[in-house]
Structure 1
Amino acid sequence: MARECDPEGSRTQGVFTKPDLVDKGAENKVIDLVEGKTSSLKLGWIVVRNAGQQQLIDQNSNRDEVEGQFFREVHPWTDLPKDKVGVAALKIRLQDVQTTQMRAEVGRNLKAMKQDFSALGIERSTPEQQRSFLVDIIIKFQNIVSQAMATSYGTQELFEKDEDTRLVTIVRNRMDGFKSDMEEYGFEYQFLRWESGTQQPSSAEVRPESKSDSDDDDEKADGIPVRKNMNLPEHSGAIDGILQEQVNIRKPADDSILAWIEDKYFASRGFEMGTFQTSLLCTIMNKQSGKWTELALGYVSDVVDIVHTFILKVLLSICPDEQIRDKLVNILVDELSKRYREAMDQAQMILDVEHTNLMTLDNEFQHKLGIAQNRKCEQCEIVKGKKKAPISNAPMTNTQRTVRYIHDTLAAYYAVASKRFIDNICMQATGYCLLTGPRKPLGLFSPQFVADLAQDQLMEIAGENAVLSRRRAQLKKGIQDLETGRKIMM
């Protein structure tokens, strides 16, 4: 049976119980077994002499004395080492074996308990412990934010695992997309070329055409979407109802811009001679830049989406406890929503300024207008209703001259204003409000945020529930008991 349970003989202690009954001449075999010459048991053998029937009946008989006398006087058992014979030697051996096994068992249990205890994280039963817990998360969060803002992507594995966390790079690429969309789709009508008097193509039309350009043209035939990044994160409550809805912006109209300006001029002129109402320029500029609103708000909405997605994904990486993370986001969401709305409001304010009054101190405006006024009129356009009829070196009427002057002024101002607008939206609405300013959403989750939390909010976010507290107490007591037991066994 022992061989079945312990085939390697590593856990079996051999006990020979009746040496007094061994046949004459067979004693040496037993002695070889006890001395380990023929035994496979790693713990070896011990010989004990059981009391005989007569000794069991005799109440005056002392079992230990009889056994001791036997091993002192009866040959060849007297040759065996003292730690190999007798019940006393067996008791010591069993204590040693059990103590070794118990030490190993205690060590294993202690290691397992400490691992379970460590997995529970730091204790969060007091407000001080809860604040310390949240501050540790904040330090990790702000460290990742700093590295993302510095584009130090090699310092965190997160940047390799999830490209949505490469914040500055994604925002910069979206800025370039916004600039490109403004240059190609931001105006209502094509301007005339300065040198020829023909309609000015968009930048997309003057590029060398490639296969990919042709594919893009097919995709953009019905316009372009103003939203490029619509991640719709799981916790989107902070951005619900704030962002620009998805709409398509159509390509600039191919109709004659001079015909359109002439219509507006006829609808607003008075008794001026060779001039026009200054309010007319503001009216046609607002119409010509009418797509700016949806393009700008779509761009800012995308950057809000990018920033919010970044915040959620960083929190996911540094706070794996879903319950704590959800509670933390729920506390942050109201203030995040306010800061996102501030960015949208800033974009709207810039739009309102551009659509209110026309003004610039940029010398580029006068430079462009001067070039337009001094150009050689190789080709002119006679407006007849909505149609164009190019005529070389034809004299212009007063109305045509006024319309062309309005066009030239509008084109020069649009060139200056659109660059200014793009810069202001990128610098103020997204750069300052969302990434670098004092009220940037990335700075909300800070030590000051934790310091401002009420005690009930601390408990709600970082406090331990009853089950976790009981488990922590049980493990702590178990570890203390095992540590005490191990010291005793040592």
Structure 2
Amino acid sequence: MTASQDITTLSNPPLLEKIDKLRDLNIGQHVPLPQLVVVGDQSSGKSSLLESLSGIPFPQDQSLCTRYATQITSRRDISNSVEVRIIPGPHASEDHRKHVEGFHRQVHSSLEFREQFPDILKKANERMGVRSDISTGIGTVFSEDVLKIEVYGPNEDYLTIIDVPGIFRTTMQGTTKDDMAMVRDLVKRYIKDGRTIILAVLPSNVDIATQEILELAEEYDKKGERTLGVLTKPDLVLEPSAQAAVCNLVQGKKRPLNLGYFLVRNRGPNSGLEGPSELDKIFRKHPWADLPRDRVGILALKDTLRSLLVEITKREFPTLIQDVSRQIRECKRELNSLGPPRQDEREQRSFLCSIAGAFQDRARAALMADYNANTGFDEDELRLITHVVNITDIFGADFHESAHSRQFEKLGSAEEPEEVEKSDDCDDKAGPMVNELRELLEKARVDDIAPEEFAELADVITPEKISMPVPCDNFSEWINEVYLKSRGLDLGTFNANFLTTAFAEQSRKWGDMTKIYMSRIIITLHRFIVAGLRSVCSEEQVRNKLWIAMIESLGERYKKAMDQARLLVEVEQCKQPYTLNKQFAQALSKARGYRVTELLRPKARKDSKQFVGTQPMINLNDIPKAVEVKSNVEQLQEEIHDILHAYYSLAADRFIDNVFQLAVDYCLLRGPSSPLKVFTQDWVINLEAEQLEQIVGETRSVKKRRQGYTKKIVDLTNALKILRT
């Protein structure tokens, strides 16, 4: 293998060119790239070193250089040329990006480039907005933009080096402490990743312990595995002890680094055009002559840098592809989390319609208890119909147990349990299932209203628990008292209005119990709608705005359902008791029969001659005598009791059914004015454009995030194509 072939193999231009293309795309802000970064304190000799490595005559004037990162790339080509461009910084605005990307200078002669370079730098500074004169207040002192210089020629070998501004400890004319901190942050950003080789430039004539750049490098490269020390200005080291200290560094005897130290001499500000061979003559003299030849001089350093760059690029190339692919997946996931784009009215309406459709699907499944139809029903608030049925069962049990003001008399004899039917469900005790339902209701915290819920529902629901008194046992006394205070010229009859008054008193708790029941249903439905929206719309800001647009209509529909329930209570309590239900006559007849039976029971005989089967026998002549023992008032009171009892039992069952069917199922769950039908696709279609924009229009931050993710995906996808070609 010839020397030229060996250099070409070492430099591996196709591989390194891919990395440079990624750097042009600014992929380094997303995925760390293999790179060589030159860092050092100001006046450490960085500019002179860069000139020696690249042949580019960097001026020593601080107003023209080291105000931004500079990427220097040399490439083998048949003709000489130098191209200068600007890569926008990672946080550049779109306008600034377009402005700096328009900068391009090309020179076809080395001599011409040397003459024009100071002017090119000034123009680049102006394009980036960097002060041409550091003492003026116009423009910024430092920039995140990158100046890219590409050098082509038949004698060039592939090498890319990035130079960053030098660290300074004290402010100079035109600079501030903020500038000082910005430079440190810029240096840290370039050297922190494990794919970066740190070229720490250290002047030989200064105590290495005072060089802050080594401490900064150690902060990110604690083991010194990727830091290479470059010692400059050996011609200024005159004291033998100082020379010995430099030699100890190069020989690895002091503060060793895995990549070691190089000793180089660069042209000074007053030097002529000496080439590397002329400058390297100093290393033939004592004490430098005793140092390893591959550790002194610019040529040795350039060969090592090319090898290091290829080595780190080859080593990191597979993981670089993985990192880019992972970043693309993460970006797509973040972009998907923002939902479909909502830039114009069509996109906004389509986006909101899709959410409305998903919500209606969720509502239909919840009403059918089809909890396998959609994911997310593990959330308790979404099991709507189950909660409604449980609450209704508890309402029915509570209603039968305690909705009446006074206990009705129990008719029938304990001696004949097989013949005696329970007079009313109100005498039933809550079974185990109802007790379990109460426990579920307690766990669901339906009666614990959160402040934000109360603020939204205060005009509709019962704000606090209402104490329900236990039914009294003084029904007969109460009937007697009321009757005696309101009786007229009744002869075996009573005023029908008395039943209206009595029923209203017996059912006076219906209104409060119904409001508690309706409040529980409304709270449950309200929480379902909140949870349903949360399950179909992940963007909190959209949900909040959508909720604001819906809440007034929801409140109106809740109130309509509550008014319907209140109307049902009013109808039952204010009208004259009446029913077409045949069970009323049957219940009343049965009650009258029980009363006659109780009067005849003492006269029943059980001797063997009068028994037929197991039933006691009575004398028919005893029947008229049995009913004669009661006064007219007593008979009227019993008649009032039995009529009211028979009617109340039917009315209570009818009322419970009507409240559920008309107020809950129709008004709240399935009817055309159900709160569940506020947020529909038809509602979305009828929204004005301004309303759409207000509800689902993207905020500036979301638009910026979407644009950022979209651009990042495009850049990373292009990067992946470059890496895989």
TM-score of the two chains, using structure 2 as the length reference: 0.48
After superposition, give the CA deviation of every residue in 1:109-141 in whole Å (9 maximum; x if it has no partner). 544544443343321111111112212222221
Q: Which amino acid aligns with 2:468?
A: I
Matched residue of 2:462: which SS? Answer: coil
In structure 1, C-alpha distance between the alignment counterparts of 2:407 and 2:690, rounded to whole Å:
61
**Corresponding position of 1:36:** none
Aligned residue among 526, 533, 548 for 1:308: 526
In structure 2, C-alpha distance between the alignment counterparts of 1:446 and 1:439, rounded to whole Å:
12
Determine if the alignment matches structure 1 residue 401 to structure 2 residue 635.
Answer: yes
Does the 8 Å contact 1:148/1:166 carry over to 2? yes
* C-alpha deviation, 1:158, in angstroms: 2.4
After superposition, give the CA deviation of every residue in 1:145-186 in whole Å (9 maximum; x if it has no partner). 1221111223444222x2232111111111111111111101
Aligned residue among 573, 583, 587 for 1:364: 583
More helix by proportion, 1 or 2? 1
Aligned residue among 265, 269, 279 for 2:483: 265
In structure 2, C-alpha distance between the alignment counterparts of 1:340 and 1:258, rounded to whole Å:
41
Determine if the alignment matches structure 1 residue 286 to structure 2 residue 514.
Answer: no
Aligned residue among 668, 673, 676 for 1:439: 673
> 1:185-264 to 2 correspondence within 5 Å?
185-195=402-412, 229-233=446-450, 234-245=452-463, 246-255=465-474, 257-264=475-482
**Corresponding position of 2:116:** none
Matched residue of 2:470: which SS? Answer: coil
In structure 2, C-alpha distance between the alignment counterparts of 1:229 and 1:105, rounded to whole Å:
49
In structure 2, C-alpha distance between the alignment counterparts of 1:479 and 1:294, rounded to whole Å:
61
In structure 1, C-alpha distance between the alignment counterparts of 2:684 and 2:430, rounded to whole Å:
56
Q: Which amino acid aligns with 1:174?
A: I
Does the 8 Å contact 1:319/1:325 carry over to 2? yes
Q: Which amino acid aligns with 1:369?
A: L
In structure 1, C-alpha distance between the alignment counterparts of 2:398 and 2:275, rounded to whole Å:
112
In structure 1, C-alpha distance between the alignment counterparts of 2:540 and 2:430, rounded to whole Å:
52
Does the 8 Å contact 2:401/2:428 carry over to 1? no
Q: Which amino acid aligns with 2:548?
A: N
Does the 8 Å contact 1:339/1:439 carry over to 2? yes
Gaps of 5+ in 1: 10-52, 58-85, 217-224, 381-391
Cα 1:244/1:475, change in 2 over 3 Å = closer
* C-alpha deviation, 1:449, in angstroms: 1.4
Cα 1:377/1:128, change in 2 over 3 Å = same
In structure 1, C-alpha distance between the alignment counterparts of 2:362 and 2:543, rounded to whole Å:
17
In structure 2, C-alpha distance between the alignment counterparts of 1:300 and 1:180, rounded to whole Å:
15
Cα 1:236/1:142, change in 2 over 3 Å = farther
Determine if the alignment matches structure 1 residue 410 to structure 2 residue 627.
Answer: no
Cα 1:378/1:331, change in 2 over 3 Å = same
**Corresponding position of 1:150:** 368
Does the 8 Å contact 2:406/2:506 carry over to 1? yes
Structure with the greater alpha carbon radius of gyration: 2
Cα 1:395/1:329, change in 2 over 3 Å = same
Does the 8 Å contact 1:343/1:429 carry over to 2? yes
My pick for the range that moved more, 230-239 or 117-126, is 230-239
In structure 1, C-alpha distance between the alignment counterparts of 2:431 and 2:347, rounded to whole Å:
64
Q: Which amino acid aligns with 1:343?
A: A
Q: Which amino acid aligns with 2:401?
A: E
In structure 2, C-alpha distance between the alignment counterparts of 1:259 and 1:354, rounded to whole Å:
24
In structure 1, C-alpha distance between the alignment counterparts of 2:325 and 2:591, rounded to whole Å:
90
After superposition, give the CA deviation of every residue in 1:441-487 in whole Å (9 maximum; x if it has no partner). 11211101111222222112111111221232233334334444555
Matched residue of 2:487: which SS? Answer: coil
My pick for the range that moved more, 415-424 or 258-267, is 258-267
Does the 8 Å contact 2:359/2:536 carry over to 1? yes
In structure 1, C-alpha distance between the alignment counterparts of 2:341 and 2:677, rounded to whole Å:
27
In structure 1, C-alpha distance between the alignment counterparts of 2:530 and 2:448, rounded to whole Å:
12
- Highest RCO, 1 vs 2 (Cα 8 Å, sep ≥ 6): 1
Cα 1:195/1:144, change in 2 over 3 Å = same
Aligned residue among 158, 161, 177 for 2:394: 177
Gaps of 5+ in 2: 1-196, 199-217, 226-273, 279-302, 415-421, 600-625
Determine if the alignment matches structure 1 residue 334 to structure 2 residue 584.
Answer: no
In structure 2, C-alpha distance between the alignment counterparts of 1:173 and 1:114, rounded to whole Å:
44
Cα 1:231/1:307, change in 2 over 3 Å = farther
Matched residue of 1:159: which SS? Answer: coil
**Corresponding position of 1:429:** 663
Does the 8 Å contact 2:412/2:594 carry over to 1? yes
In structure 1, C-alpha distance between the alignment counterparts of 2:650 and 2:472, rounded to whole Å:
21
In structure 1, C-alpha distance between the alignment counterparts of 2:323 and 2:492, rounded to whole Å:
104
Cα 1:431/1:331, change in 2 over 3 Å = same
> 1:121-136 to 2 correspondence within 5 Å?
121-136=339-354
Cα 1:207/1:178, change in 2 over 3 Å = closer
In structure 2, C-alpha distance between the alignment counterparts of 1:135 and 1:413, rounded to whole Å:
51
In structure 2, C-alpha distance between the alignment counterparts of 1:206 and 1:478, rounded to whole Å:
70
> 1:353-392 to 2 correspondence within 5 Å?
353-355=571-573, 356-377=575-596
Q: Taking every aligned residue pair, what percent have the same amino acid on both sides? A: 30
